[in-house]
Amino acid sequence: MTGIDWLILGLYFAFVLGIGVALKGSMKTSTDFFLAGRAIPAWVAGLAFMSANLGAQEVIGMGASGAKYGIATSHFYWIGAIPAMVFVGLFMMPFYYGSRARSVPEYLRLRFDEKTRGLNAISFAIMTIFSSGISMYAIAKLIQTLHVFDGVFQRLGLNSSWIFDFAILISAIVVLVYTFLGGLSSAIYNEVLQFFLIVAGFLPLSYLGLKNVGGWSGLKATLGPSYTHSWAGLSHANTNRLGVEWFGLVMGLGFVLSFGYWCTDFLVIQRAMAAKSMSAARRTPLIGAFPKMLFPFLVILPGLIAIALPTQPAVPPHARVVVSAEPPGKGIIPMKVDPSSGKPMLDKDGKPQLDYDLAVPSMLLHYFPPGMLGLGLTALLASFMSGMAGNVTAFNTVWTYDIYQSYIRPGATDEHYLWMGRVATVFGIAFSIAAAYMANRFNNIMDMLQLVFAFVNAPLFATFLLGMFWKRTTGHAAFTGLLAGTAAAAIHHGLTLPVGAIAGIKGGWLAVTHIYPSEMAQNFWTAIYAWSTCFVVTILVSLITRAPDEGKLVGLVYSLTPKPEEEAMAWYARPVSLAIMVIAGTVLLNIIFW
């Protein structure tokens, strides 16, 4: 990085910290800190709703998947996000926002009982810590791989093996300062900054790349149809790059996983709960869905272009930043290198593996001169940090309201809980740092934890769906349903294996009864089994347990809640109109890239 790049990065840090300092004065109550005073306008909440999810895994991961699977990766947006975002805005937000619950676990206590809330709150709190740790690990790893700090470290005479630690420390401190000072408002404001930075940094990248390869038609000619169609070939798992058939994709990804995330995950729901009115809360996910619909062009397309370019070592002329001097991979994506031996890693057929995670960073280095390169890298870092901050703010809220206030110290003053929120921010980040080092040292433990989280999350949407739309659903049923769903996920995973994998972390640890054509297919079907089990068990247990008191369910269940009144507003700004527009746009995009 040259001076101009540092200037841009420094400017961004100054604004991020400045926002935290400017908001410090308005943090007077716990509601200010945890729910941004419920005063956020719809468009800000909407962009934050979308950007909170736009962390490391998203920007790097979607580019990587673009290079690996082609435009079919857009299913993660068009099938795997938009329908759920529309559903949560139109049908679920009236209960989340209308119940005045301060968190998703708190909604579960109002609707069901204490044990269901406890289960959700504790698993969610642990999960956010690990997600934030993984985000931090990804930032540090990327900074290390791109040699961003190497020049500075050399000049200062420091050992370059400290770069990883330094990167972790810097990102932790920056996130700590702004969330500690400004709470959720600070996180939301930075998510909005990050959103515009990502657009500013990635739009020229997609433009230059596409121009270079001769536009979409050029890309099609170079890569062939398997990369450039999203639905063609989905009739059978063996005829598309994803290795999934359409039913598993639509039900597993489009229904269970997507609705499970966008409709129940407090990380995103918190942004809508912070909106200033019911109508703003309902519009939050719908407004977020518009950019979400178009983001494949910013994050997936660069991956496709990276694989389509002529193979060459990615060393830019102003090489202060060098990706790798190793033999070239494919396109401009380098090969995966074993960090201990320095040799390329081989897959089971003896072919070298490509380091797909470097697709997007390689694109930045390939096309951007100093100046724009600084902007692009700043956008990447911004997305990592706000992904982390999103987890931290969700964690401190769930910890303070649902664990501390409920089980450890109920009945304290609001001032005390505000203080606790700040303390939780500090130890939440401290635990994240520990998780980041754990991810670095023990990759297997992290894989296993993520697997366990997937089991816990998979059935969640069945519980919420029944809870919100069937008044007969009982607390005991919700609790048993969740446990049964998680168990079903674990058992299904234990009995199946993706093709070519060895029994163990990838599945089959009980016995191998079925082989899936890909890991993705296995994941989707695990989710489908978990959801269905939870759905059926919850219904059955509800029918044999005592029906809940209907008087207590007003505002929490569809049939017992008066319809939300539409505020007087222009027709195009109403939630239903926004939903229709976003669905129409998504359908159109699917047809274009069929």
Q: Answer yes or no whether residue 23 interacts with other proteins by CB under 8 A.
A: yes
d(CA 323, CA 312): 12
Of 14-22, 59-67, 111-119, 256-264, which part binds other proteins (CB under 8 A)? 14-22
Residue list 352-371, contact with other proteins (CB under 8 A): 366-371
d(CA 113, CA 103): 14
Candidate residues 217, 238, 294, 318; the one interacting with other proteins per rule CB under 8 A: 318
Please give the backbone phi and psi of residue 224, each rounded to the nearest 5 degrees, phi first: 85, 170
CA 473-479-481 angle, to 5 degrees, is: 75
Structure tokens at 593: 């890239």
| Parallel, antiparallel or unpaired: strands 514-516 and 496-498 | parallel
Q: Residue 25 Cβ, how far from other proteins at the closest point, in Å?
A: 9
How many CA atoms lie within 13 Å of 282's alpha carbon, on the beta-carbon side?
21
CB neighbours of residue 590 within 10 Å: 16
Of 8-16, 172-180, 392-400, 401-409, which part binds other proteins (CB under 8 A)? 8-16
Under 8 Å between Cβ of 238 and 416: no
Q: Answer yes or no whether residue 319 interacts with other proteins by CB under 8 A.
A: no
The amino acid at 158: L
Q: Answer yes or no whether residue 92 interacts with other proteins by CB under 8 A.
A: no
Q: Answer yes or no whether residue 587 interacts with other proteins by CB under 8 A.
A: no
d(CA 267, CA 553): 25
Q: Residue 287 Cβ, how far from other proteins at the closest point, in Å?
A: 14
Provide the Cα torsion 306, 309, 312, 318; round to 10°: -70
The single-letter DSSP state of residue 354 is B
Candidate residues 218, 291, 313, 316; the one interacting with other proteins per rule CB under 8 A: 316
Q: Answer yes or no whether residue 99 interacts with other proteins by CB under 8 A.
A: no
Candidate residues 84, 359, 372, 484; the one interacting with other proteins per rule CB under 8 A: 372
Q: Residue 101 Cβ, how far from other proteins at the closest point, in Å?
A: 21
Q: Answer yes or no whether residue 17 interacts with other proteins by CB under 8 A.
A: no
Residue list 200-219, contact with other proteins (CB under 8 A): 200, 204, 208, 211-212
Q: Residue 142 Cβ, how far from other proteins at the closest point, in Å?
A: 21
Nearest alpha-carbon partner for 360 in 291, 298, 402, 408: 298
d(CA 302, CA 212): 12
The H-or-E segment that residue 496 falls in is strand 496-498
Residue list 174-203, contact with other proteins (CB under 8 A): 182, 185, 189, 192-193, 196, 200
Nearer to other proteins, 37 or 508 (CB): 37
Nearer to other proteins, 44 or 59 (CB): 44
Q: Answer yes or no whether residue 569 interacts with other proteins by CB under 8 A.
A: no
d(CA 110, CA 98): 12
Q: Answer yes or no whether residue 584 interacts with other proteins by CB under 8 A.
A: no
> For 229-345, where are the alpha helices, taking DSSP H only?
246-247, 258-262, 266-273, 278-294, 296-299, 301-308
Q: Answer yes or no whether residue 504 interacts with other proteins by CB under 8 A.
A: no
Size of the chain, expressed as the number of residues it contains: 594
Q: Residue 64 Cβ, how far from other proteins at the closest point, in Å?
A: 22
Binding positions for other proteins, rule: CB under 8 A: 4, 7-8, 11-12, 15, 18-19, 22-23, 26, 32, 36-37, 39, 41, 44, 182, 185, 189, 192-193, 196, 200, 204, 208, 211-212, 276, 316-318, 366-372, 375
